[in-house]
Structure 1
Amino acid sequence: MDAVPAPFVPPAPKPRTKPPSLLQMLRIVYRNPLELWGEPSYNEKWISISTGVGGPLVIANDPGLIRHVLVDNAKNYKMARVRQKILRPILRDGLLTAEGDVWKRSRKAMAPVFTPRHINGFAAPMLRRTEAFAERYEGETDTVDVARDMTMLTYDILAETLFSGEIAGEPGSFAKQVDHLFETMGRVDPLDLLGAPDWLPRFTRIRGARTMAFFRRLVADTARMRKEKLERDPEGTPNDFLTLLLKAEGPQGLSREEIADNIITFIGAGHETTARALGWTLYCLAEAPWERDRVEAEIDAVLAREPDPVKWLDAMPVTRAAFEEAMRLYPPAASISREAIEDETYEDLHIRKGAQIQVMPWTVHRHRKLWDNPEAFMPERFLPENRDRIDRFQYLPFGAGPRICIGASFAMQEAVIALGVLLSRFRFDTVAETKPWPVQKLTTQPEGGLPMRVTPRARKSD
């Protein structure tokens, strides 16, 4: 009888054993916030501290407290100042950063695109774009950067489904600009952490100014092209995400600037989270070939009997579990930040007005009181028979509450279709240079990329 292999433990920062100095903290937060968290963050229900910068801080790891902040008493919490200072210069009043009536109007305008019926309708174009993308691996002999490739794939899918293939500009230059955006403006600026006045120039924003100008031009050109098409041929214009946004302009809907902000939000960030999760999934499966064998066997069996990609998400529980486990270990959004509007108490925790509440999927997903063997890649946690053991608020890849990611179902369908196509045709293996290190730059990215070897699979049916 074959021995069961020990689970693969992918790379991650070791919890700190002593708190950093203020200078060390500023450096760590700028370079990689994932390296900041100490042993208590992985063991305690919550931690309440006075940071010396930005007021009191509560790190919330307890599912009950997380539910309280994000759902039960969400009205007492607004977006945290530091988070907004990072994201608002990029997204302005896009869905991720808007608050109050602006957020409600944006969410209402976009909701029709993300109904189950619409998402099911995206399955066929998702399949087509992934099949076309997979052609690039035919005859490939060089090592490829899978992290970059997944960014390009999810961009192709987003452009095809939400924008009907009508985003201005060239995809190659877009990918470079996204990388630069996350490298510059996607970092926490030390001046924001220290609460410096807004008139002081931020180094991160200065470095990212040209990239932001690129995205604003791209959005303006994309909107102009679609408006011209709507005027020229209203019946023949796709009724997609872009058209719905443009039609929402008006006194009771969205302003022209809010429409532009939401286009930037979805073009610039809407594909990025899924791309990162796909890359980490392929990496973890390559390092745990016994898990990859199960996924490949499931995909082969489903594709042999079920051509309709709408049904793949339900038909591929093992594949879905591998993707969800990769998102547990490397949550696309590693932190969710709120700020208390008024004083309140949860159990024996007093939360002061102005306190910054950090819900850290990174630490919650690796918390030792919530998970068995939390550092290991173990997809079986997410198989249907085991899901009841996972509290709704201990697993937060898409957030929770009123501001849960509007595209969560879109992303899950997209991921399983992409994995179904790619892993049915090719095997992804790590090479000597594959030494990723998780770094938080808005999303959880593999520093150094994911260099991998991609080879055709010899399937049983071949």
Structure 2
Amino acid sequence: MDTKPTPFVPPAPKPRTSPPSTIEMMRIVYRNPLELWGQPSYNEPWISIGTGIGGPLLIANDPELIRHILVDNAKNYRMARVRQKILRPILHDGLLTAEGDVWKRSRKAMAPVFTPRHIQGFAAPMLSVSEKFVAKYHDGMVTDVARDMTMLTYDILAETLFSGEIAGNPDEFAHQVDHLFETMGRVDPLDLIGAPDWIPRITRLRGRKTMAFFRKLVSDTMQMRKDKLARDPEGSPNDFLTLLLKAEGPDGLSRAEIEDNIITFIGAGHETTARALGWALYCLAEAPWERDRIEAEIDEVLAATPDPYEWLGKMPYTRAAFEEAMRLYPPAASISREVIQPERWRDLEIIEGAQIQIMPWTIHRHRKLWTDPDAFLPERFHPENRDKIDRYQYLPFGAGPRICIGAAFAMQEAVIALGALMSRFRFDTLPQTKPWPVQKLTTQPQGGLPMKVSVR
């Protein structure tokens, strides 16, 4: 008799059955863009809308069309204006927002840190930080796992890329990240209607103090390291921060570009992994039959394999659960581009100036691409099933030249963190654990993830 449990279907907005009015759309986009998308976005290969706010719009869901836009003809698609209006006030010329030669210089300067050899070297400190963090838990405590994962991934980032030398108070940092995403990390209605930049955006005005906090933190961090390099160049860590500082010069990065890239990594680089870890622990708590299998895997691997660098390859079920959490709750829910030159793709006319939306949120839940798309089913990513997933139907880290430079770093970090967390503790939901996914730069659980921690 088949006793396979009914899959857990985590909370998400239902596809709309009718389009919103213009005013309603602006309200939804400000409050939570994930609630905007209708049934065609979850069922059609693409949707081409001739007119609308911001001009013509193409929503691309077909994996081959996505490959064309992000890879094969990526040079014809620049960063979309509305996306840049949200991110550039925060990140300026950081890696996520820079274009052209500035982006190329930044990517080249950072590439050595994210080679496989360097990432392997990060495994031991990732585990050390995770174990130290886990030691704060005790049996029966109730905690907001969403906030905890922000702090854990911040600690890992600080230790690996900055050798533990980031200025400021980590507790204050977590509060400031929340405020940053609540204010400047949202679409402002004035951006949607194309209002001139000189008209103040209320959301960004509310975020000015937070941005000043981050800018000062980065400036102090850079100065601390410069002083150390001047005092003891041989004894200073040769990490991400030092690499960026040494890249300053006429053929490298300007001081402002270095500052922007540090803000990008401190302010946003850890946040995507944090959100995915929180969602993974939540989904596993609601699917205990999946959690049992992962706990058994973690126990077996930790008993036999002390080197955490090997965990990613030896924990396929743990990795699969994390990847499935990123499918259901992609950290970056949208990828936005703008067409430079008109072109034809098959029978689709792509208009000059059209806004392109590639939505991991809807693509990862698309009815023609996935079986039981709304359910939490880690088996999709088990080794025997991975080949069934098209490269361009699963986009947690993007694709093409602008694919996330830290993707391998994040995957290693996530599996090591889950190994450390779940080897000692079990995380269970409570009656008040009612998260709702909201898009604010990343896909965040509104209301947090209050969970009970129990010793295993």
Do the structures match in fold with TM over 0.5?
Answer: yes
CA–CA distance in structure 1, aligned partners of residues 241 and 166 of structure 2: 10
397-406 or 340-349: which moved more? 340-349
Q: CA deviation at 1:50?
A: 3.3
CA–CA distance in structure 2, aligned partners of residues 2 and 229 of structure 1: 64
**Amino acid of the residue matched to residue 436 of structure 2?**
W
> CA deviation digits over 1:307-326, x for unaligned, max 9?
10000000000000000000
What corresponds to 2:52 in structure 1?
52
What corresponds to 1:97 in structure 2?
97
CA–CA distance in structure 2, aligned partners of residues 50 and 382 of structure 1: 37
Q: CA deviation at 1:416?
A: 0.1
> CA deviation digits over 1:53-86, x for unaligned, max 9?
1100000000000000000000000000000000
Q: CA deviation at 1:3?
A: 1.0
Report the 3-state secondary structure (helix = DSSP H, G, I; strand = E; otherwise coil) of the residue aligned with 1:136: coil
> CA deviation digits over 1:288-338, x for unaligned, max 9?
000000100100110110010000000000000000000000000000000
Q: CA deviation at 1:44?
A: 0.1
**Amino acid of the residue matched to residue 113 of structure 1?**
V
CA–CA distance in structure 1, aligned partners of residues 53 and 2 of structure 2: 55
> CA deviation digits over 1:123-175, x for unaligned, max 9?
00000000000011124x33100000000000000000000000000000000
Q: CA deviation at 1:51?
A: 4.4
Q: CA deviation at 1:2?
A: 6.3
CA–CA distance in structure 2, aligned partners of residues 186 and 220 of structure 1: 22
Aligned length: 456
The correspondence of residues 220-259 of structure 1 with structure 2, limited to 5 A, is 220-259=219-258
CA–CA distance in structure 1, aligned partners of residues 183 and 443 of structure 2: 15
What corresponds to 2:410 in structure 1?
411
Report the 3-state secondary structure (helix = DSSP H, G, I; strand = E; otherwise coil) of the residue aligned with 1:439: strand
What corresponds to 2:384 in structure 1?
385
What corresponds to 1:165 in structure 2?
164
> CA deviation digits over 1:198-249, x for unaligned, max 9?
1000011101001000000000000000000000000000000000000000
What corresponds to 1:205 in structure 2?
204
Q: Is the 8 A contact 2:141 2:454 kept in 1?
A: no
Runs ≥4 in structure 1, deviation > 6 angstroms? none
What corresponds to 1:460 in structure 2?
none
CA–CA distance in structure 2, aligned partners of residues 346 and 281 of structure 1: 37
CA–CA distance in structure 1, aligned partners of residues 44 and 53 of structure 2: 22
What corresponds to 2:328 in structure 1?
329
Q: Is the 8 A contact 2:285 2:291 kept in 1?
A: yes
CA–CA distance in structure 2, aligned partners of residues 178 and 262 of structure 1: 16
The correspondence of residues 42-441 of structure 1 with structure 2, limited to 5 A, is 42-139=42-139, 141-441=140-440
**Amino acid of the residue matched to residue 357 of structure 2?**
Q
TM-score relative to the length of structure 1: 0.98
The correspondence of residues 36-47 of structure 1 with structure 2, limited to 5 A, is 36-47=36-47
Report the 3-state secondary structure (helix = DSSP H, G, I; strand = E; otherwise coil) of the residue aligned with 1:16: coil
CA–CA distance in structure 1, aligned partners of residues 142 and 87 of structure 2: 34
- The share of aligned pairs that are identical, in percent, is 80
Report the 3-state secondary structure (helix = DSSP H, G, I; strand = E; otherwise coil) of the residue aligned with 2:394: coil
48-57 or 261-270: which moved more? 48-57
What corresponds to 1:445 in structure 2?
444
TM-score relative to the length of structure 2: 0.99
What corresponds to 1:31 in structure 2?
31
CA–CA distance in structure 2, aligned partners of residues 348 and 321 of structure 1: 37
**Amino acid of the residue matched to residue 217 of structure 2?**
L
Q: CA deviation at 1:417?
A: 0.1
Report the 3-state secondary structure (helix = DSSP H, G, I; strand = E; otherwise coil) of the residue aligned with 2:341: coil
CA–CA distance in structure 2, aligned partners of residues 402 and 232 of structure 1: 38
CA–CA distance in structure 1, aligned partners of residues 392 and 243 of structure 2: 32
Aligned-CA RMSD value = 0.7
CA–CA distance in structure 1, aligned partners of residues 397 and 50 of structure 2: 28
CA–CA distance in structure 2, aligned partners of residues 96 and 324 of structure 1: 22
CA–CA distance in structure 2, aligned partners of residues 3 and 393 of structure 1: 34
In structure 1, the gaps of 5 or more residues are: 458-462
**Amino acid of the residue matched to residue 58 of structure 1?**
L
**Amino acid of the residue matched to residue 97 of structure 1?**
T
**Amino acid of the residue matched to residue 333 of structure 1?**
A
**Amino acid of the residue matched to residue 384 of structure 1?**
P
**Amino acid of the residue matched to residue 171 of structure 1?**
P
CA–CA distance in structure 2, aligned partners of residues 50 and 82 of structure 1: 18
